[in-house]
Amino acid sequence: MTRTDGSSELERGSLALARLGVCALVLAGAAIPLYLLAKQALTPELESFAWPPNWLSHDLTFEHFASVFAVSELRSAVIRSFAVAIVSAAVATAMGAMLAYAMARGRASRSVGFAAVSGARLLPMIAVAIPLAVWLVTLGLYDSPSGAGLALVHAALALPTAALTAYSAFAAIPFELEEAAWLDGASPMRIFFSIDLPQARGALAAAFILCFILSWDEFGFALLIQVSNRTLPPLLYYYTVFGNVGPASALALLMMIPAIVVVIALRPVLSGSLLSGGLR
């Protein structure tokens, strides 16, 4: 073995070490709050306020979970949150896909689309909050038990995210494939559904997940619009406000489950290894 080989191996080794360090740091940044949350959720009320704070609790308890499940509002809030997230994510993804497709295929629609999407993102949400609420009152959707009004707002909020996520996927599909399908005898509608949509499904699944999580977490509009028919984030907020740290932590922990389930459920679609190689 020559010396240059040795030194390059050394370099590679230290590079790998540095990479490992960065990974550990990032992981720690995510894991430590998560651990504290889980600890808090499982620690008896008195001990969670112990000073100095401890990393490991002496007694484990499920009483916080029990008290969360005992809340009569929980069941309806879970269902409502879930329905709002699913519906708004579905609407945003469907509309975002259409917008993204137009942006990917037309020069005029690309500039208009980008202007609209980034404009919507630049707008401070608080500026539209009151008018939106008024509008929902007129429509009869304000504080509706089904959460339809909030779903509508969340869909609008998520639309730019969905469109931008889907855009790059559609833009990557060669136009030649559409021409080939057209010559094979496919209508424009058929081309979109048979050629473009299947190839973009990985990106659309990602868009759906992002929109779902966006809605599942969303607090401000949920607080404003679902005043009495609450979703989960305001519920969690009221717990914290009234100092119920244990149950709040337990609820926060439970809230992570659906998001994880959605990500896992859509994993096969996300890994699109099958979806390349039509063109050389």
For binding to another protein (CB under 8 A), which residues are involved? 174, 176-177, 179-187, 190, 194-195, 198-199, 274-280
Query: What does the alpha-carbon distance between residue 106 and residue 101 come to, in Å, rounded to a whole number?
Result: 9
Report the nearest approach of another protein to the CB of residue 260 (Å).
28
Q: N- to C-terminal Cα distance for the chain?
A: 40
Report the nearest approach of another protein to the CB of residue 180 (Å).
4
Classify 50 as helix, strand or coil: coil
The nearer residue to another protein, 52 or 185, going by C-beta atoms, is: 185
Report the nearest approach of another protein to the CB of residue 266 (Å).
17
Report the nearest approach of another protein to the CB of residue 98 (Å).
19
* The two three-digit tokens of residue 93, written as one number: 């993804």
Query: What does the alpha-carbon distance between residue 103 and residue 195 come to, in Å, rounded to a whole number?
Result: 17
* The two three-digit tokens of residue 221, written as one number: 């509009």
Polymer length of the chain: 280
The nearer residue to another protein, 58 or 107, going by C-beta atoms, is: 107
* The two three-digit tokens of residue 204, written as one number: 């659309």
The nearer residue to another protein, 191 or 250, going by C-beta atoms, is: 191
* The two three-digit tokens of residue 121, written as one number: 């993102």
The nearer residue to another protein, 106 or 243, going by C-beta atoms, is: 106
Cβ partners under 8 Å of residue 219, min gap 6: 233, 234, 237
Report the nearest approach of another protein to the CB of residue 115 (Å).
24
Rounded (5°) CA angle 209-215-220: 150
The nearer residue to another protein, 112 or 177, going by C-beta atoms, is: 177
The nearer residue to another protein, 38 or 275, going by C-beta atoms, is: 275
Report the nearest approach of another protein to the CB of residue 23 (Å).
31
Query: What does the alpha-carbon distance between residue 117 and residue 6 come to, in Å, rounded to a whole number?
Result: 52
Burial profile 225-240: b = 16 or more Cβ within 10 angstroms, e = fewer: bbeebbbbbbbbeebe
